[in-house]
Amino acid sequence: MAVAPGLEEALAEEAREKGFEDARAVPGGVEAQGGWHEVWRANLEMRGAARILVRIGAFRAFHLAQLDKRARKFDWAQVLRADVPVRVEVTCRKSKIYHAGAAQQRIERAIAEELGAPVTKAAALVVKVRIEDDLVMLSLDSSGEALHKRGHKPAVGKAPMRENLAALFLRQAGYRGEEPVLDPMCGSGTFPIEAAEIAAGLQPGRSRGFAFEEMAGFDADAFSALKRQGGPAPEARFYGYDRDQGAISNAGANAERAGVAAWTSFECRPVSALEPPEGSPGLVIANPPYGGRIGNRKLLFALYGSFGQVLRERFCGLAGCGCHLGCRTGQSDGDAV
Ligand SMILES: C[S@@+](CC[C@H](N)C(=O)[O-])C[C@H]1O[C@@H](n2cnc3c(N)ncnc32)[C@H](O)[C@@H]1O
């Protein structure tokens, strides 16, 4: 399971909670053992993963002729279909074979000539090959489109947060689907929508397709059996505010498509006018502009000043102080505050 650097441990924790018991963090992701059912289930259920890669084989090769011979002997028909186009991506590190382009050409030719599958640059199905210390490791990208694309959010602003990152930041902030969540600068609504989905027990991959559906051995009935309805309606509510009316309209439409509109509310309001909603204490989490992708850095000083003051004065979360919504910060990569 691949993930952005720094989030491996959080993803491993999610994987273990979801029944991938041997999941362990490695640089850039999480490793777990399992068969195709586990691969399908990981794609369907893992909120934090960017994509699910499946190791399909490994062999040693010290020169291109050996790579050619061993790639031809590999049982591609066990995992790929002759009628589905495929492309190959290769990286080489600390190996006698150092020319990734030449290695790619050998493996593409082996697949085309031994299996008969068309090899095209535009193919959605990707065979990822890593050659490291002369060991050739073959993997398939079972996800296809990155998993943050849940299939519910065509309407986004200039700098949307990826859903899988939002899920992991919520996790790191201690959110487990029970308390209300408020994002004062919600843009397209990623945090409140993701939080509402978690609370409602919805599978993140319920509305989208995956690359593994085009692979050999895919069993549509067995995959359907892994899909389940969400749990009972959550008691908590999920709030998004933004000073931009266009962002608020997008967020509402996205929540509707995700099937969580009943538990989310979005309102056009600047941070300076933020008030804690009625109800039990919860989590404030945001991905404010930081002057990188959008916004003028100098203008951000006033925003951060006002944000801090509003949180301190109206959201301190101390018992008996009159606040309804507590504030905890979930900083993990400098992006979420
Ligand atoms: C980085 S974007 C948030 C993206 C969002 N997490 C998403 O996934 O789409 C920052 C948002 O902060 C909003 N914003 C900037 N200044 C604000 C203010 N003073 N009050 C409320 N919202 C503000 C912008 O309109 C923008 O939508």
Ligand 1 close to Cβ of residue 287 (< 6 A): yes
If we measure between CA atoms, which residue out of 90, 210, 55, 207 comes closest to residue 146? 210
pLDDT one digit per residue (tens) for the chain, 337 residues: 999 999 999 999 999 999 999 999 999 999 999 999 999 999 999 999 999 999 999 999 999 999 999 999 999 999 999 999 999 999 999 999 999 999 999 999 999 999 999 999 999 999 999 999 999 999 999 999 999 999 998 767 778 999 999 999 999 999 999 999 999 999 999 999 999 999 999 999 999 999 999 999 999 999 999 999 999 999 999 999 999 999 999 999 999 999 999 999 999 999 999 999 998 889 999 999 987 655 567 778 889 999 999 999 999 865 544 444 444 433 333 333 3
Q: Tell me, in angstroms, the distance from the centre of ligand 1 to residue 135's CA.
A: 46
Atom 12, ligand 1: residue with shortest CA distance: 185
Q: Where do we find the tokens 């989310």?
A: 264
Cα–Cα distance between 298 and 14 in angstroms, integer?
Answer: 38
Quick one: which atom of ligand 1 is closest to the CA of 303? 19
Atom 20, ligand 1: residue with shortest CA distance: 270
Q: Please return the burial class of 157, using the count of CB atoms within 10 Å of its CB with bins 0-12, 13-18 and 19+.
A: middle
Q: Tell me, in angstroms, the distance from the centre of ligand 1 to residue 229's CA.
A: 32
Ligand 1 close to Cβ of residue 244 (< 6 A): yes
Q: Tell me, in angstroms, the distance from the centre of ligand 1 to residue 228's CA.
A: 34
Ligand 1 close to Cβ of residue 160 (< 6 A): yes
Beta carbons within 10 angstroms of residue 122's beta carbon = 6
Atom 7, ligand 1: residue with shortest CA distance: 160
Q: pTM of the full predicted structure?
A: 0.90
Cα–Cα distance between 55 and 136 in angstroms, integer?
Answer: 11
